[in-house]
Chains A and B, each alone.
Chain A
Amino acid sequence: MNAVTQSQHTVKLTAIPQALEDPTWVRRGLIFITVGFIFLFLCLPLSVVIIEAFSKGVSAYWDALAQPEAQAAIGLTLLTALATVPLNTVFGITAAWCITRFEFLGKSLLTTLIDLPFSVSPVISGLIFVLLFGAQGWFGSWFAEHDIKIIFAVPGIILATLFITFPFVARELIPLMQEMGSEEEEAALSLGASGWKTFFLITLPNIKWGLLYGVLLCNARAMGEFGAVSVVSGHIRGLTNTLPLHVEVSYNEYDFVGAFASASILAGLAIVTLILKSVLEWKQQRERGY
């Protein structure tokens, strides 16, 4: 017994020195570079946002956020997220289900297409909607005749955001469900459970952390998207400016407190996302047993 522990001990000792072989200055240097990089490119900009936002005091900060235009931008950003995240969640689950549970022609093509919004520049994502629904676009005159506004209005912003964010949930679920396999579901079905029941009682509990993770990322992007939204927004203040666009407008108007106050909300969202993300990752790993 004693000998066994001892031998394990020696194994450990001989295993570690490999990493210890690098001279101290190399290790310290690498650690210093990493920490320095993180400080320079993450912590410093973030603190600039906070410092600038409060540069004229706490009351100026709240005044900037209480402006009707800032309020409208926050409202529109929330509305966009509320409209796109649920839709893309449903889409993501459906797509992941199709791809991991069925065999059909063109499946790999579909998997690739889901990733399309990641590889297309956001500006192009915005422009395609202008080309489709703009007054000179393919369907523009039909919508104009029926007095439906898409581009330079809220629907256009939601459409562009939907397009940009649609891969997030699907991409998170596909590998997860592939790894999971379909044995449990097949067992449930063969025992007489309905399709929905199987989904809610077997599939959903298994994928819940991955799903939440995807939803979280989807939400962060939906609230933070700039490029595509900028193209379809028309920049009407108080009406079609989302929070990221409002940041730009305020900055361009020399309203630095306003710009950075709005930016601080986005930064706050990023931090909350980051924390939730770590929690979800941890939960997911614990559940999967490694």
Chain B
Amino acid sequence: MKFNTLIKTALFTAGLLLSQATLADRALLNVSYDPTRELYQEFNKEFIKDWKAKTGETVTIQQSHGGAGKQARAVIDGLEADVLTLAITYDIDNISRRARLLPENWQSRLPNKSIPYTSTMVFLVRKGNPKGIKDWDDLVKEGVAVITPNPKTSGGARYNYLAAWAFAEKKYGSKDAAKDFVRKLYKNVPVLDSGARGATTTFLQREIGDVLLTWENEAYLALKELGDGKVDIIVPPTSILAETPVAIVDKVVDKHGTRDLAEAYLNFLYSPTGQKLAAKHFYRPSEPKYADAADIARFPKIERFKVDDVFGGWDNVQKVHFDDEGIFDQIYAP
């Protein structure tokens, strides 16, 4: 019967694909957030070369990208990440607490609180800045459409929200004023994407909005990739220090037998090559001395608020602002 042949072909193909998977080299899965795609594309190539030269072993690095909160949720639900390179420490804390995949003191295991590079949030506006957007209080003006992703699913979106809050609290002197300020700001947001890259696409390809609040590196990348002559970067005088942490997922690496590989991978981020690549892709390296001076010179001076100083840490931020019924839920009505 034709039908039997079909089933046989299906089983054969399935078997073939499965056997290919089991015969493959050792692999690491790096679960990351949205804008790091280009950085890790290049970094992985360098690491694979370096590891091969040191040990003779050929390895593969698999990547998964998405909104940071969404990615953390997937790891909690069983996505077997060997290493995490996420946008905010709270997401890794969450994985540690809810799924117990790594110890709670994970941040003390690597240099600089496990943060190999940092970033900040800046504005991307249409060419020539027709709406004259220079600082955070320009975003709440009437008729300014602001694009920023959903803080419930995106790490970058949380930094945007917190940067706006910190600006308003400092300028207007009270938490109530800050709450009012972010309420006005989110009134100007026509659409909340789930991740930073989706927001960039909304702004650039779908041409919605007057200003995109986004990662510094994402803004430069957008400019490089297709914004030439279409958009400008505006750096506000103050913004937030985005501390983007990395960690090994102990339970997964022990199960996969990849601990040595995962440790080497993350340490390579702190190496001169790793730091240089971070700067090249517009992340601010923790050891600027290893980066090209020309790359470092591209970073404008900007006062960056620390989440720990202004908000008393991420646990507090989550509880007060982003949990259900938190301030974000109170101020945002779609």
- Which residues of A from 92 to 151 have beta carbons under 8 Å from B? 130, 133-137, 140, 144, 147, 149, 151
A252 to B3, CA, bound (A): 40
| A249 proximity list for chain B (CB < 8 A) | 65
Question: Chain A interface: which size bin?
Answer: 20 to 34
Is there contact, CB below 8 Å, between A254 and B226? yes
Is there contact, CB below 8 Å, between B62 and A236? yes
| A133 proximity list for chain B (CB < 8 A) | 78
A252 to B200, CA, bound (A): 9
- Which residues of A from 220 to 273 have beta carbons under 8 Å from B? 234-239, 249, 251-254
Given contacts A82-B14, A86-B6, A252-B198, contact A136 B63 (CB under 8 A): no
| B34 proximity list for chain A (CB < 8 A) | 252
A104 to B14, CA, bound (A): 37
0/1 string, B108-122, CB within 8 A of A gives 1: 000000000000000
| B78 proximity list for chain A (CB < 8 A) | 133-137, 140, 144, 149, 151-152
Query: Does B13 count as interface, using CB distance less than 8 angstroms?
Result: yes
A233 to B233, CA, bound (A): 35
A235 to B81, CA, bound (A): 12
Is there contact, CB below 8 Å, between B13 and A82? yes
Query: Does B29 count as interface, using CB distance less than 8 angstroms?
Result: yes
- Which residues of B from 33 to 86 have beta carbons under 8 Å from A? 34, 37-38, 62-66, 74, 76-80
| A235 proximity list for chain B (CB < 8 A) | 64-66
Is there contact, CB below 8 Å, between B10 and A86? yes
A242 to chain B minimum Cβ distance, whole angstroms, is 13
A237 to B10, CA, bound (A): 23
What is the interface size of chain B, counting residues whose CB is below 8 A from a CB of the partner? 31
A212 to B134, CA, bound (A): 62
A253 to B29, CA, bound (A): 19
| B99 proximity list for chain A (CB < 8 A) | 135-136
Is there contact, CB below 8 Å, between A251 and B201? yes
| B259 proximity list for chain A (CB < 8 A) | none
Is there contact, CB below 8 Å, between B76 and A135? yes
A189 to chain B minimum Cβ distance, whole angstroms, is 21
Q: Which residue of B lies closest to A156 (CB)?
A: B78
| A137 proximity list for chain B (CB < 8 A) | 77-78
Is there contact, CB below 8 Å, between B201 and A252? yes
Is there contact, CB below 8 Å, between B198 and A151? no
A196 to B65, CA, bound (A): 51
Is there contact, CB below 8 Å, between A239 and B65? no
Q: Which residue of B lies closest to A133 (CB)?
A: B78
| B17 proximity list for chain A (CB < 8 A) | 75, 79, 154
A97 to B214, CA, bound (A): 57
Is there contact, CB below 8 Å, between A252 and B64? no
Query: Does B271 count as interface, using CB distance less than 8 angstroms?
Result: no
0/1 string, B218-254, CB within 8 A of A gives 1: 0000000110000000000000000000000000000
Q: Which residue of B lies closest to A149 (CB)?
A: B80
Q: Which residue of B lies closest to A143 (CB)?
A: B78
A234 to B66, CA, bound (A): 9
| B37 proximity list for chain A (CB < 8 A) | 252-253
Is there contact, CB below 8 Å, between A79 and B77? no
Query: Does B197 count as interface, using CB distance less than 8 angstroms?
Result: yes
Query: Does B297 count as interface, using CB distance less than 8 angstroms?
Result: no
0/1 string, A53-97, CB within 8 A of B gives 1: 000000000000000000000010011001100100100000000
| A238 proximity list for chain B (CB < 8 A) | 62
A48 to chain B minimum Cβ distance, whole angstroms, is 13
Seen from chain B, the residues whose Cβ lies within 8 Å of a Cβ on chain A are 3, 6-7, 9-10, 13-14, 17, 29, 34, 37-38, 62-66, 74, 76-80, 98-99, 197-198, 201, 225-226, 255
Seen from chain A, the residues whose Cβ lies within 8 Å of a Cβ on chain B are 75, 78-79, 82-83, 86, 89, 130, 133-137, 140, 144, 147, 149, 151-152, 154, 234-239, 249, 251-254
- With A136-B99, A152-B77 given, name 4 new contacts (CB 8 A): A144-B78, A152-B74, A252-B197, A254-B226
